[in-house]
Structure 1
Amino acid sequence: MKVHSPYKSKGGFGRLLNALRYSAKGLNAAFRHEAAFRQELLAACVLVPAAIFLARSVVEALLLIGVLVFVLIVELVNSALEALADTITLDHHPLIGRAKDLGSAAVLLAILFATAVWVTVLGARFGAWS
């Protein structure tokens, strides 16, 4: 027996508009409530123009910008996980603590990956690797 959620839409163009509205609400909530997201967004606002200026090709620019977007995506997922965990309980619980730590580790890995890509591309751009 299949159970349908009353919160799931049926589809169509209205579903797309609702999805866009929910996404905008999520981005707004992240900006308003998450300091780490604001910091990473500020870094992206500085680094995106730098990527366009420094890149030697469109693919290189997309790579530099893509890793910045990846960091923001992972931060959003981590923030969602933390909000959900805090909704369940604000008391210390080892599994919730582990979940939050895992989310934080995911953000760290995304930042390290973005840094490695930027260092590699800039090193190649300015001849450090030749």
Structure 2
Amino acid sequence: MRNQPKYHLWKNAGYAVEGFFEVFKHETSFKIEVYLSLAVWIGLLFVPMPLIAKAILGLSMLFVLIAELANSAIERTVDLVTKEQHTLAKHAKDAGATMVLFTVIFTAIVWIVTLYSVYFA
């Protein structure tokens, strides 16, 4: 049996919001990605294209934010475990960075394919 408190929706949602703002405050890359996503989401409101295309483009931006949050969790966990330079710590952090990179590449491909299908197909 796990030693954890009873589940409370609002309390757990509060932890999630707290985590978001902690990462936003301390991770420059996450802050840039949040601002870029907000700009894209606002811009999509004014672009003449089908709603489904806007949804695909807007939601694809969430993948980058999710990956950056996961990467931040990996980095913090590694830093908690060891402050020393260790090969496995580096590999864990590098894998997290690769996750973010692949997500950015995925999002770029989604944008290219979606915009091509809307405007050139």
TM-score in terms of structure 2 length: 0.91
Find 1:111's aligned residue among 100, 104, 115: 104
1:101 partnered with 2:94: yes
Find 2:45's aligned residue among 42, 48, 52: 52
SS in 1 for 2:79: helix
Question: Take 2:117 and 2:46, find their aligned partners in 1: how far apart are those partners?
Answer: 15
1:126 partnered with 2:119: yes
Distance 1:79 1:96, change over 3 A: same
Residue type of the partner of 1:22?
Y
Q: Which has the higher contact order (CA 8 A, sep 6+)?
A: 2
Distance 1:77 1:100, change over 3 A: same
Q: How many percent identity over aligned positions?
A: 29
Matching residue of 1:70: 63
Counting matched residue pairs gives: 121
TM-score in terms of structure 1 length: 0.85
1:23 partnered with 2:10: no
The answer (yes or no) to whether the contact 1:55–1:61 under 8 Å persists in 2 is: no
Question: Take 1:52 and 1:74, find their aligned partners in 2: how far apart are those partners?
Answer: 25
Question: Take 1:51 and 1:111, find their aligned partners in 2: how far apart are those partners?
Answer: 19
Question: Take 1:52 and 1:125, find their aligned partners in 2: how far apart are those partners?
Answer: 16
Question: Unpaired runs of 5+ in structure 2?
Answer: none
The answer (yes or no) to whether the contact 2:34–2:65 under 8 Å persists in 1 is: yes
